[in-house]
Amino acid sequence: MRLRWTAALLVAAALAGAPATAQTAQNDTGITTETQDRHNSGDSDLIWNILGCLGLIGLFGLQRPSDNDGYTDDPI
Q: Tally the C-alpha atoms within 13 A of residue 20's C-alpha that lie toward its C-beta.
A: 7
pTM comes to 0.34
Is residue 53 a contact partner of residue 10, using CB atoms and an 8 Å limit?
Answer: yes
User: What local confidence, expressed as pLDDT, does residue 26 receive?
Assistant: 58
CA angle 18, 23, 26 (to 5 degrees): 145
Query: Number of C-alpha atoms within 13 angstroms, CB side, residue 57?
Result: 17
Question: pLDDT tens-digit profile of 22-75?
Answer: 455 556 777 878 877 777 766 667 888 889 899 998 888 877 777 777 777 766
> pLDDT by residue (tens digit) across 8-32?
888 888 777 655 554 555 567 778 7
> What is d(CA 19, CA 65) in angstroms, rounded to the nearest whole number?
38
